[in-house]
Structure 1
Amino acid sequence: MTRAAIATTLSILALPAAAQEEVDIASSLGDLTVTPIVQGLDMPWGFDVAPDGTIFITEKAGSLLTVRDGASERISGLPELYTQRQGGLLDVMLPRDFAETREIFLTYSRPQKGGAGTAVLKATLPEGATALENAQTIFEMAPGSSGGAHFGSRIREAPDGTLFVTIGERGDRPAAQDLSRHNGSVIRINRDGSVPDDNPFVGQNGAQPEIWSYGHRNPQGAAFDASGQLFVVEHGAQGGDEVNRIAPGANYGWPVISYGRHYSGAQIGEGTAKDGMEQPEFYWDPSIAPSDAVFLEGGDWNGDMLVGSLKFNYISRLTGDPLREAERLESEATLRVRDVDQGPDGDIWFLSEVNGTLYRAALP
């Protein structure tokens, strides 16, 4: 969703009167009124909004929901999912031409030999339909990994129409430095799953050609700024959650460098810096367990970045160059913020995993 979509007519759910409990979030702009848009969700993970106002929401256990005009539908036709621990149905993204193509992209944990891996599903959903059609997995990480942690995974459409997907290192730390594996990388693919010719490792012997950047731990947030620059937000270990400005072919250091420490308290790798490895634009210590991110367009916070916190139950607002944390937006609505975006109305929309609710925080 972008500011360009603000003119879209959006039908907000007509919730029962008893369910319409508004709360306020204190901010530097004054109190922001927070209103529930969709309630009763089970472990929601991602959302997006179609041009006609239909809200698409993923639930990690394996449900894709559409909500419009007070009515919700469960969409069938999903592939087999790996739903243990952090795995399941993850992000949802509607491309800019969704109204014409009806194409939808989902990230999920796909069962693989010996474990599971982050994968991308492409499908169509005809208007009025309740089942996905033409569903195909256009990408899955290789060669696969065991365990149920660190799948990533956000999917974003770049200004040029290619797709960026974030992938965690799956708890296999050294794999994030191994270009023969997708673990701990940001990948870039075309909408049919093919590899763009200008990806940085195309033609390099032993490298996965989809890789755009590597050396990431568990990136669960991604956002483009107004200039089209991609930023990724990733979990550190104990301390050292990072916001990274993504460049093609760049190495972001995990697990060789980090601003965090192992949960045992031991040092990670070789310290906080090394030649040939990128420094974060910003990092948190202690860790906040960051989720998704968005750059706001318009208004007093134009160009600022919002990042959800799963651990401390707030939304962090970052501003400036270099980035700094300007404030923390928190209330009983911001419990384990799993996804945050700017809605078609220009306000802040976010998912609370604990409350099972999609909220709108009205900007003045």
Structure 2
Amino acid sequence: MLRHPLITGIALAVVLAGTLCLSAPAPAASWDWLARSKDAPDTEIMHSERQDFHVQVVAEGLQSPWGMAFLPDGRILVTERAGRIRVVEEGGLRPGALSGVPEVDARGEGGLLDIALHPDFARNHQLFLTYVAPTPKGSMTRVARYRLTDEGLADEKIIFPGAPDGNRHIHFGSRLLFLPDGTLLVTIGDRGQGRRAQDLMDLNGKTLRLSDDGGVPQDNPFVGRKDARPEIYTYGNRNSQGMAIHPVLGMVVQTEHGPSGFDGPGGGDEINIVKPGANYGWPLVHHTQTRPGTLAPVLEYTPAVAPSGACFSRGGLLPGWTNDFFFACLVGERLVRVRFSGQKVTEQEVLLKGVYGRLRDVASGPDGALYVLTSSTDAYGPGRKGGDRLLRLAPAP
């Protein structure tokens, strides 16, 4: 396993004015510490159709976490919506937060949201953030690139300044996913105004595809059209907060929040296969409705489960789940496993239902385990003494 060449030496955490210095690390190929995480006190061995597992607590004390990224040296970066990036390492959550994080508007569903490492992070040390930026008229989803240093984040470059802003503090989308060709997909929510999702001159309610410096790839589906923005990759999206790429088939699968009651009957959450130029129908169709020219979801959920972060399992430690799709649910308080055969769903299974409360994100770690962020301390959660947790799903001992 590669290690971050800029972050070496004797372990040292310096906490100053609420920020920390990132010169501390762990030996190369140091993921072994994660296997020593303590077992969760409120669970035993769990059984699924394909894989028995148990749950460990990697870290607790998080406040409304949203996204995570695994550094090559064995540490994990976790975003908190209030505008902090926390470091999880052996021993748990390090005090303080990284410096250099941008100002965010954390009202409603806003704040600091996703984080993703550049595909060539081992060489260039770049990472990307989505966050809700305050504006004179309200707020907007923004994407910025940074270089990770011993002191925190440096060399900010805003690669996507934001879609047209709005004063409703909901539906920011904000999930990031790098494709094998090095381009970056970004989801942007409809900001609670469904009509924007069908307007090809409006970037809200869309999936965008950008280069790593914010440029527009020339093979984007709407390049050259005067009636459409060239950044758009898909449209007709309400609020997608999860996205992952199948490790063998290469297809991108996306989660989508359905109507919440104020903009349509509740439920209608979706799992979609992302296709360039496709219209996913919002707000013209939802739930199980169909319409010519729109792409129907492969899965639909009513009542709502509020699907959020997603991943495909790498297998390895959890061979029974190899190449299965997982997504975390907020309202549904569960982790859902989906198996595909080509583009068809052949299996579904509900895991962890009601055990850990609201779940925000799930990721397949470099060690092959699954990692899950809880979301009990967000604006919709019941709160939890001890804060939110980063959980590890590992094979049953």
Q: Give the TM-score, by structure 2 length.
A: 0.82
Checking the alignment, whether the CA contact within 8 Å between 1:221 and 1:233 is kept in structure 2 is yes
Q: CA RMSD in A?
A: 2.1
Q: How many residues align?
A: 344
The structural deviation recorded for 1:363 is 2.9
Identify the match of residue 314 of structure 1 among 310, 327, 334: 334
The answer for unaligned runs of 5 or more in structure 2 is 1-27, 260-265, 377-386
Residue identity matched to 1:32 = F
Identify the match of residue 352 of structure 2 among 301, 319, 330: 330
2 CA distance for matches of 1:94 and 1:360?
20
> Residue 290 in 1 paired to residue 307 in 2?
yes
Identity %: 40
Identify the match of residue 257 of structure 2 among 235, 250, 258: 235
2 CA distance for matches of 1:325 and 1:286?
19
2 CA distance for matches of 1:274 and 1:189?
29
Structure 2 SS opposite 1:362: strand
Checking the alignment, whether the CA contact within 8 Å between 1:11 and 1:69 is kept in structure 2 is no
* Aligned residue number for residue 274 of structure 1: 291
Question: Looking at both structures, which has the greater relative contact order when contacts are Cα pairs under 8 Å and sequence separation is at least 6?
Answer: 1
- Classify 1:287/1:22 alpha carbon distance in 2 versus 1 (closer, same or farther; 3 Å): closer
The structural deviation recorded for 1:13 is 6.2
Checking the alignment, whether the CA contact within 8 Å between 2:205 and 2:236 is kept in structure 1 is yes
> Residue 258 in 1 paired to residue 286 in 2?
yes
Cα-to-partner distance string for 1:182-228 (whole Å, 9 max, x where unaligned): 11100000100111111111121132211100000000000001222
> Residue 303 in 1 paired to residue 323 in 2?
yes
1 CA distance for matches of 2:40 and 2:371?
16
Checking the alignment, whether the CA contact within 8 Å between 2:37 and 2:58 is kept in structure 1 is no
- Classify 1:41/1:96 alpha carbon distance in 2 versus 1 (closer, same or farther; 3 Å): same
The structural deviation recorded for 1:333 is 5.0
Checking the alignment, whether the CA contact within 8 Å between 1:167 and 1:184 is kept in structure 2 is yes
- Classify 1:205/1:13 alpha carbon distance in 2 versus 1 (closer, same or farther; 3 Å): same
Cα-to-partner distance string for 1:130-171 (whole Å, 9 max, x where unaligned): 321101221033322221000011101110011001111010
* Aligned residue number for residue 265 of structure 1: none
The structural deviation recorded for 1:11 is 5.1
- Classify 1:252/1:54 alpha carbon distance in 2 versus 1 (closer, same or farther; 3 Å): same
* Aligned residue number for residue 23 of structure 1: 43
- Classify 1:38/1:255 alpha carbon distance in 2 versus 1 (closer, same or farther; 3 Å): same
The structural deviation recorded for 1:99 is 1.6
- Classify 1:334/1:325 alpha carbon distance in 2 versus 1 (closer, same or farther; 3 Å): farther
Structure 1 SS opposite 2:240: strand
Structure 2 SS opposite 1:23: coil
Structure 2 SS opposite 1:175: helix
The answer for unaligned runs of 5 or more in structure 1 is 1-6, 261-271
- Classify 1:95/1:334 alpha carbon distance in 2 versus 1 (closer, same or farther; 3 Å): farther
Identify the match of residue 390 of structure 2 among 350, 358, 362: 358
Cα-to-partner distance string for 1:239-295 (whole Å, 9 max, x where unaligned): 1111111111111000001117xxxxxxxxxxx111111111111111100011111
1 CA distance for matches of 2:170 and 2:328?
19
The structural deviation recorded for 1:111 is 1.5
Residue identity matched to 2:309 = D
> Residue 85 in 1 paired to residue 108 in 2?
yes
> Residue 110 in 1 paired to residue 133 in 2?
yes
Residue identity matched to 2:351 = L
Q: How does 1:109-188 map to 2 (within 5 A)?
A: 109-126=132-149, 129-188=150-209
* Aligned residue number for residue 266 of structure 1: none
247-256 or 7-16: which moved more? 7-16
